[in-house]
Structure 1
Amino acid sequence: MDRTDDPPELQKSDVVPPTASAYLDPKYWDERFAQEDHYEWFKDYSHFRHLILQHIQPESSVLELGCGNSQLCEELYRDGINELTCIDLSPIAVEKMKNRLLSKGYKEIKVLEADMLDLPFEDQCFDIVIEKGTMDVLFVDSGDPWNPHPATVDKVMAMLKEVHRVLKPDGIFISITFGQPHFRRRFFNDPEFTWSIEWRTFGETFHYFFYILKKGQRSSESYEPVKASEKPSMSLFHEELEGEDFIFRTNIDEM
């Protein structure tokens, strides 16, 4: 993870919680966003720009879920994407994001306090929905990654149903995540959804996953089979993930 833009006075010990379950606590995020100005989960925009611009056009209407204090929306705006809406559950994150964007003159970008499990938007109103590390938080304390707790399944499915609902008939959901295909596919392939499934990877010594789900284009052969080389192992948890890797390591340790 890149932390090059963090102020020097903000140390990892200031934001890394003592237990992974803290990531599920809205109070944790409010306190974190109050002191932290910028953090990028799963690399910054430069690492996956070549992938994302294949699917977003200048005229696309884009919704970003769980924007936090990421600079993703700013980078998209600088690449000519003007119809951007960002949401986050934290009022502190939303207020700070609004102020930051206004200070840079990015008045067209909308920032709203909202829950991705219950989106305040009409059906079929976005061309693109993007999440970067937001869905991963739902898997904290999920138990066995091959058979997550029912509560985890309910939350993830609620999120995906809302994403599917607000996407236009030919819209695209982009998920940038640590989650490997053999863990995500069971959710993405639910019969309720009509999207096709593709994925790419990015990163150097450690790979992150870039999923492309195209609504209305599902077929029985719309996804790649899991390869033997994709079986999870402890070696996946590279030191590159720094101090916050245990949010994901928690699940794999229980296998």
Structure 2
Amino acid sequence: MESKTKASTDLRVLPTNNVEYGTREYWQQRYAQEENETFDWFKTYKDLAPLFEQHIGRRDARILMLGCGNSTLSSDMYAAGYENIVNVDYSDVVIEQMGQRCTHQAKMTWEVMDVRQLALDDASVDVAIDKGTLDALMCDKGDSWNPPPELCKNVAAEVDEVDRVLAPGGKFVWITFGQPHFHKRHLVRESWDLDIERLNDGGFDYFVYIMTKKTRPMGTQ
């Protein structure tokens, strides 16, 4: 699951059990140890630039980076012209680190926030990007075909919050290796259209789930 850009080989940052990926305590400890490092899950901006050009395009779009961590994605997007980025993470440790690291990119913000309870106004975001955060919430010992209720509750909380803050015509982009027969069920909403794209990386498939918010209220013609 993990793809390092400039990260330590210190095994203390790795969880003893994948369930820990879904806990704030694990990330607080990990980011404290990775103070001067970066770490990207799945893909970097270089890999995703054509995808963002297609689905975002507008450089002035208000972008919400969900569970930003210490990824290079926001900084690289900023350098490419996507400057209106709100980076959120429930780890105050990493938000402090990244805010200091990116002071030269002053137009984007870094805010301590739980993706399951966003302190943002309704319909205030044009694009929401998730690269690994939903996957962390989905780490569990249970059966992937029949996930436990607590997992479903946490995932639904993030998805519903994104639905709430996404403006009409806006897009929720989730990059993951999670296959549709496991994950599509968590994303279905009447308020948006769902499309799935496949990215192949040397024989290993990644999936991009793209949810586009409908521009007309449900029930109207």
Q: TM-score, normalised by structure 2?
A: 0.90
Comparing both structures, which one devotes a greater share of its residues to strand? 2
Letter in 2 for 1:185: K
- Cα distance in 2 for partners of 1:29, 1:76 equals 23
- Cα distance in 2 for partners of 1:82, 1:49 equals 15
CA, structure 1 residues 72+190, in 2 after alignment: closer, same or farther (shift >3 Å)?
same
Letter in 2 for 1:106: Q
Equivalent residue, structure 1, for 2:78: 77
Q: After the TM superposition, which parts of structure 1 deviate over 4 Å for at least 4 consecutive aligned residues?
A: none
Q: CA deviation at 1:66?
A: 0.3
Q: Note if 1:98 corresponds to 2:96.
A: no
Letter in 2 for 1:38: T
Structure 1: gaps (5+ residues) = 219-255
Equivalent residue, structure 2, for 1:232: none
Higher deviation after alignment, 150-159 or 119-128 = 150-159
- Cα distance in 2 for partners of 1:2, 1:158 equals 26
Structure 2: gaps (5+ residues) = 217-221
CA, structure 1 residues 203+48, in 2 after alignment: closer, same or farther (shift >3 Å)?
farther
For residues 162-173 of structure 1, what are the structure 2 equivalents within 5 Å?
162-173=161-172
- Cα distance in 2 for partners of 1:100, 1:67 equals 13
- Cα distance in 1 for partners of 2:17, 2:89 equals 22
Among the aligned pairs, what percent are the same residue? 36
Equivalent residue, structure 2, for 1:121: 120
CA, structure 1 residues 138+206, in 2 after alignment: closer, same or farther (shift >3 Å)?
same
CA, structure 1 residues 212+23, in 2 after alignment: closer, same or farther (shift >3 Å)?
same
- Cα distance in 2 for partners of 1:178, 1:141 equals 16
Residues 196 and 213, structure 1, Cα contact 8 Å, conserved in 2: yes
CA, structure 1 residues 148+217, in 2 after alignment: closer, same or farther (shift >3 Å)?
farther
Q: TM-score, normalised by structure 1?
A: 0.79
Equivalent residue, structure 1, for 2:219: none
Residues 47 and 203, structure 1, Cα contact 8 Å, conserved in 2: no
Q: Note if 1:216 corresponds to 2:217.
A: no
- Cα distance in 2 for partners of 1:60, 1:142 equals 38
Aligned residues: CA RMSD: 1.7
- Cα distance in 2 for partners of 1:116, 1:11 equals 28
